[in-house]
Amino acid sequence: MHMIPRSVLIIFLVAAALLAAGCSQPSPPPATPPPTPIPTTITPLPTVITPVPTPTLDYIPGPMPSNFEVTVDVDRNVVSIDPKITATFRGGRGINLVYSVDVVVTRSDGVVEKATITRPKVNDYVEILGTTGTDRVQIFVTLMTKDPPPGPYLIYDEELPFRSRG
C-alpha cells in the first residue's frame, strides 16, 4: 500500500513540473484597439518671391588704360543639349601684366557661375554651362600693377540670347 501513494506523489510532481515548464497553453493577451487617426490640417505657407540682384564683382569704373588692354572672345553654343558659353583669352598689349581673367555668367534661371583663368596665355579658355534663355556674361581683368591700380576692370558685359532671331 505504500506504493500507491508514492506513485500518486510522483504523478503529482510530474504534472506540477509540466505546468511550471509551460506545457499548458497560456491565455491570449488582450487585443489592442487600432490607433485612432488624429485629423491634421496643413496650412500652406505664403510664397514670397524676392528679386535676386545680379551680382557683379567690385571693379574700377572707366575703361582699362589703353597700353594694358587685352581681348577676350565670347562664343555661345546654340545646341540645346549643351548651351555652353566659351570665353577665350586672345592677348593684347597688356598680356604680360594680366594676373587673372574672371568670367561671370548670370544665367536666365538666376544661377551665377564664375570661372577664372590665372596668368592667362593666348588661347586659354573657360567654358560655363548656360541656359536656353538669355544669359549675361561679364569679364573682369585684374593686372599685376600698382599704377594703374590692378583692378579688376570690366572689359565685357553683354546679354547673350540662346538663339538670335533673324
What would the pLDDT profile of 8-23 be if each residue is shown by its tens digit?
667 766 666 666 665 5
- The mean per-residue pLDDT over the stretch 54-67 comes to 73
Q: Look over the chain and give the mean of its residue pLDDT values, rounded to a whole number.
A: 80
Q: pLDDT value at position 52?
A: 47
- The mean per-residue pLDDT over the stretch 144-155 comes to 88
- Cα distance between residue 8 and residue 19, in whole Å: 16
What would the pLDDT profile of 94-148 be if each residue is shown by its tens digit?
999 999 999 999 999 999 999 999 999 999 999 999 999 999 999 999 999 888 8
Fold held by 66-160: Immunoglobulin-like (2.60.40)
- Cα distance between residue 54 and residue 104, in whole Å: 11
pLDDT at 74 over 60: yes
Q: Which of 150, 154, 144, 95 is nearest to 123 (CA)?
A: 95
39: alpha, beta or left? (left if phi > 0; alpha if psi -120 to 50): beta
Q: Using the 8-state DSSP alphabet, how is residue 95 labeled? A: G
Cα torsion through 158, 139, 86, 77, rounded to 10: -10
What SS3 class is residue 133?
coil
